[in-house]
Structure 1
Amino acid sequence: MSESSDPRVYLAAERTLLAWLRSGIAVIGLGFLVAKFGMFLRMIRGTVEGGHPIASTIIGIAFIMLGTAMIALAAWQHQHFVKEFQGSFPPTQHWPKLSLWVSILVALSGAALAVYLGVSVVSE
Structure 2
Amino acid sequence: MPDDGAPIPGSPAPEPDPRVVLAAERTLLAWMRTGLALMGFGFVVARFGWFLREMAAVGHHEPDPGTTASLWIGTGLVALGVWVLVGSTVRYRSYLRSLERDTHAIPGPGLGTAVSLVLATLGVGMVAYLLVMGLRG
Q: TM-score, normalised by structure 1?
A: 0.59
* Aligned partner of residue 5 in structure 1, secondary structure: coil
Q: What is the aligned partner in structure 2 of residue 84 from structure 1? A: 98
CA contact (8 A) 1:20 1:74 kept: yes
Looking at both structures, which has the greater relative contact order when contacts are Cα pairs under 8 Å and sequence separation is at least 6? 1
Match in the other structure for 1:27? 38
CA gap 1:86/1:48 in 2 versus in 1, 3 angstroms? farther
Task: Give structure 2 stretches of 5+ with no counterpart.
Answer: 6-14, 102-137
Unaligned runs of 5+ in 1: 88-124
Equivalent position of 1:8 in the other structure = 19
| CA RMSD between the two structures | 2.7
Aligned length, in residue pairs: 86
- 5 Å matches for 1:1-124? 5-45=16-56, 46-47=58-59, 50=62, 53-86=67-100
Name the structure 2 match of 1:96: none
Q: What is the identity, as a one-letter code, of the residue corresponding to 1:11?
A: L
Q: What's the TM-score, normalizing by structure 2?
A: 0.54
Question: Quick one: percent identity of the two aligned structures?
Answer: 39
Larger radius of gyration: 2
